[in-house]
Structure 1
Amino acid sequence: MRSFDVLTTTEWRDRGDMLPAIHHLKRCVSLALLLLMGTWIVYATGGTAYAYPYLMLAPVLIGAFWYALVGGLCVAFAAGILMAFMPQDAALSIEQSTSNYLVRIAQYLLLGGVSGWLFLLRRRSASRHRTMARTDPLSGLANQVALNEDLGRHLDLPATRGATTGLMLVRITDITDVIDAMGLDAADELVLSLSERLKGAVCGKPFAYRINHDELALILHDIDLHDIERIATRLLDVGEESYLIQQVPVRMQLAIGSSLRQGDTVKQEDLVREARIALFTAIQEGSDHKHFSPGFERHSLDSLQLIARVRCALQEKEFSLHYQPKICLVNGHVCGSEGLIRWPQADGSLVPPGQFMPKVENTSLINPVTHFVAREAASFACRHAGWGAISINLSVHNLYDDELIDLLIELVEQVDLTAEWLEVEITETALIGDLAAARRAIQRIRDAGIGVSIDDFGTGFASFEYLQHLPITGLKIDRTFVAQLEVNARARKLMACMIEMGHALDLTVTAEGVETQGQADILRELGCDQAQGFFYTGALPASDYLAWCQAHANTLP
């Protein structure tokens, strides 16, 4: 197994001390030349009886500036000794008295000592401010400023030119759960504990930088992609360990992004940018670790451009709603529909919702997009109430958006809209974070008379808890349970249990993803209330949907 180097605090210090050695030599030579030049000028101008000995104060002050107290005193003493051998009057060959040069030495030492002490205080103050600027005040770890400086310094070292340099960004993706449950101090303690274990898990004990409240960075030297993968595996194992925070055992979920560069022209900003793109890609794809690939950069740029286009599309009112009917399995009539956002293009094509909505949900645009959907659905329900309630989807961000809930209530109160004509669908994942807050939000919606269904039912892990505590009115069983109904007896039994449970709680049960007559027949036999899927039709533009509903009604007895 190939060894690799990890930059540590000791290495930074050692390399930093090596770099200025030649500068120290240049400074010492410069001071010596200034002292000799001053001595020659004093002698050439007649000796110490004249004003020129004050020229020797220049190297004294420079020495104090460069080397503080020690430099000021050493150069002052050297200047005093040189002046002690200088005649008082060179032309007349009159020597100085002992008291004369001793007083001058004392003056030089006093000036050198005081100025050196003042420069030392200034340097210490600047050092404290520099340390503060490079340190995260909450955890005591080095911060983003330190990372940029150290990485840039490392890349400028002659020893690293042509070698590979890697950067790993480690994010605690569920740190908000710790903050919500235990507070910010616990989160800082967790990050500090993680940094110590990360350093212990990697050969060389790397220096950890805290560059965000939930992110750490590690600089790696002389490694390859295999080493990156191996280190990432170790770090992920560290994340799986238990951490005792405020006497409570805590586990965390990590996401890692890494980048690797080689050559003389590597820039620290490129390494950081690529590692961050890799980290974002890992988070978006639900992966533990992603190493940067040029395709990620293109994808990231496309995402930024897509979000910008969504913003413009909202302003230009380019979005529309398509409607997919829900069918009552008792009599076959249309009993409602689901309003689904669509983005028509100039060439008549549609941008698939799966291409832009997941990205929109991670930005502040999710609120105005959902506001648009709510207004459009309410307007359609008012104009075409005969075809049942219109349901819209709420994301986890929407559920805690008070403005959206206020809008829903306003639509019911101020628009000619009966509350039963509007329904919201909430995924199980939106309920996982804060059940109490979810209950308050759903209760506000229910108080307005608007129905609330759980979408994709059965795919989460807290189903029974929220069925017990949330004031919901319906369940929408996920399509994965419908797909196996015709070929799997266990799937039919499980479906029967979910339908029976929903009815026991007085909930309307809808099955989505119905694609065959056989699936529809089985659902009808099991007592399911409503069905939705391509067996009937996909989502249609408003005019086509109304025409379909009318044609469907004409086929019924």
Structure 2
Amino acid sequence: MGAGTLAVYLTGGTTYSYPYLMLVPVLLAAAWYELPGALVVAMAAGLLMAAMPLDVADGTSQAPSNWLIRLGLYLALGAIAGWLFHLLRKSSETREIVARTDPRSGLPNPIALKEDLADWLAASRRHGTSVGLILVRITDITDVLEAMGADASDELVSAISERLSCEVPEVEGIYHFNTAELMLVLSDIAHDELERIARRLAEVGEDNLVVQDVPMRAQLVLGSSLQQARDTQPDDLIHEARIAMFAALEKQRFHCHFSPAFKRRTVQTIKMISQVRRGLEQGEFELHYQPKIRLLDGRVCGCEGLIRWRDGEGGLISPGLFMPKVENTTLIAPLTRFVASEACRFVADDPGSVSINFSVRNLFDEELLHMLQDMVEEHRIAPQRLEIEITESALMQDLGAAKRAIERMRCHGIGVSIDDFGTGFASFNYLRHLPITGLKIDRAFVNGLELDERARKLIACMIDVGHALDLVVTAEGVENAMQRDILRELGCDQAQGFLYAPALPLDRYHEWRRAYAACQGNSFG
């Protein structure tokens, strides 16, 4: 405004058009300070121009009407500009609030989280403190959605947010990260305190909440991360909290804090899964066979086909490193087709029977079930010589669908056995209704059998249950003669384990079988 006044004076006074330069500070004031600032600056500009001579050269003064009109113009334009800038700013603030807020729960959203987290991290760098995140997943929100609808699930998220905010005052901010997740931000926090707060959240999670007049208890799983370096970015901290939460889900724990080992394992898993299809195409997978022995007379009565992956250098990759992850992807279908095809080819050229494993996805894969039947017919093998082993957890995914799938396999003569019996959701209900042909007792019960009276009693009960339902009972993980003798005394039908042989490649399996037959003086029964 001072520069404008000087410019008008140096150009000869208000006779010329230069007084309109004073609208520049008026408009700037409107932009910065909206209506009040625009009016104050407009009034000041009008009074400055009123004191300015009409003609600086001869000192001629202005008529009152001249500067009053100019003052009114300044005020009018200042008022209009100030009001427009006010509306613009309000509109911008509204858009920003909308952009930062989840429309259903009313909580700040991931955009707000990243912006606010950047500010907290910047403050932590200045003060030498650390910022922590806790990602809270509501694991049973799908049940609420299915039973009560989206409004109820949003109300549940809001109710949990309010409860956490009241019960855990250390939380600086709570954000709705996605449908089933809340992100909690804690500033100036140490690892021990973060663990203590996680335990407190566990207690809060035990409380009942009322949603739409229905009492419910939400199941919460937590993953936490803590700023470790000065250059930590918001996305880094969020990513670590998510990895920790997934680790808690996998380990079936309430809470896990981020460890770099989690990330390394995740990267390795991604790389390994990406190589599975290539491995199938290049013939890197093969089936190994572990013999099953009939305990009554010691004869080989069949085997289990187990997948193995041979890397480019000829070494074997343990199934435990890739199968648990592959089972949760669509790659399990081509992998199981390979296993089934190899098993059928084996049975076509070899006496005895073979069992293979099915995952949850396999059990509910209609195309795979059709293909299994076609393979049996193509290789012209008796279907009863092929057995499918299914874990109890697979059955519990959808007992009705599992029953229909098993009935289809049984209708075609294929045997179905429950694998890892006793470690999952053992239920007399499914044993009663499912048309299964066998039970396989998990190695956890066989391990230390010769030293544990309670283990012997448990296995005796399992064997009795199996025989009461006319099922063939197999014990896996048999490692010594004492275990074998006890199982035989208890009436167990079959055994497999390192006492006899590990899973062997096809040629070595044939060699072992011939040597075993020569030693025992018998062959397949």
TM over 0.5: yes
Tell me which amino acid in the other structure corresponds to 1:510: T
**Alpha-carbon distance in 1 for matches of 2:46, 2:410:** 91
Tell me which amino acid in the other structure corresponds to 1:65: A
1:87-166 maps to which residues of 2 (within 5 A)? 87-157=53-123, 160-166=126-132
Change (3 A) 1:64 1:210: same
| Alignment-derived partner of residue 532 in structure 1 | 496
- Aligned partner of residue 500 in structure 2, secondary structure: coil
| Alignment-derived partner of residue 517 in structure 1 | 481
Which shows bigger deviation, 217-226 or 307-316?
Answer: 307-316
- Whether the 8 Å CA contact 1:412–1:448 is kept in 2: the answer is no
**Alpha-carbon distance in 2 for matches of 1:112, 1:409:** 85
**Alpha-carbon distance in 1 for matches of 2:148, 2:331:** 30
The alignment status of 1:356 with 2:322, answered yes or no, reads yes
What's the offset of the Cα at 1:230?
0.8
Q: When the two structures are aligned, how many residues end up with a matched partner? A: 521
Tell me which amino acid in the other structure corresponds to 1:456: D
- Aligned partner of residue 450 in structure 2, secondary structure: coil
**Alpha-carbon distance in 2 for matches of 1:233, 1:424:** 43
What's the offset of the Cα at 1:155?
1.9
| Alignment-derived partner of residue 472 in structure 1 | 436
Change (3 A) 1:122 1:400: farther
Which shows bigger deviation, 238-247 or 149-158?
Answer: 238-247
1:434-473 maps to which residues of 2 (within 5 A)? 434-473=398-437
Tell me which amino acid in the other structure corresponds to 1:250: M
Change (3 A) 1:180 1:81: same
Q: How large is the RMSD of aligned CA atoms in angstroms?
A: 3.0
1:251 corresponds, among 217, 239, 244, to 217
**Alpha-carbon distance in 2 for matches of 1:181, 1:317:** 47
1:285 corresponds, among 243, 246, 251, to 251
**Alpha-carbon distance in 2 for matches of 1:482, 1:318:** 33
What's the offset of the Cα at 1:281?
3.2
The alignment status of 1:307 with 2:270, answered yes or no, reads no
What's the offset of the Cα at 1:446?
3.9
The alignment status of 1:62 with 2:28, answered yes or no, reads yes
Change (3 A) 1:422 1:74: farther
1:142-291 maps to which residues of 2 (within 5 A)? 142-157=108-123, 160-261=126-227, 264-291=230-257
1:417-436 maps to which residues of 2 (within 5 A)? 417-436=381-400
- Aligned partner of residue 61 in structure 2, secondary structure: coil
Change (3 A) 1:59 1:351: same
- Whether the 8 Å CA contact 2:130–2:227 is kept in 1: the answer is yes
Tell me which amino acid in the other structure corresponds to 1:436: G
Which shows bigger deviation, 122-131 or 69-78?
Answer: 69-78
The alignment status of 1:492 with 2:456, answered yes or no, reads yes
| Unpaired segments ≥5 residues, structure 1 | 1-34
| Alignment-derived partner of residue 8 in structure 1 | none
- Whether the 8 Å CA contact 1:161–1:264 is kept in 2: the answer is no
Q: Which deviations, in whole Å up to 9, do the C-alpha atoms of 1:108-138 show, x marking residues without a partner? A: 3333333333333333333333223222233
**Alpha-carbon distance in 1 for matches of 2:405, 2:57:** 100
- Aligned partner of residue 518 in structure 1, secondary structure: helix
Tell me which amino acid in the other structure corresponds to 1:395: S
| Alignment-derived partner of residue 32 in structure 1 | none
Tell me which amino acid in the other structure corresponds to 1:451: G
TM-score normalised to structure 2 length: 0.88
The alignment status of 1:319 with 2:280, answered yes or no, reads no
| Unpaired segments ≥5 residues, structure 2 | none
TM-score normalised to structure 1 length: 0.83
- Aligned partner of residue 293 in structure 2, secondary structure: strand
Tell me which amino acid in the other structure corresponds to 1:134: R
- Aligned partner of residue 237 in structure 1, secondary structure: helix
Change (3 A) 1:273 1:453: same
What's the offset of the Cα at 1:320?
1.2
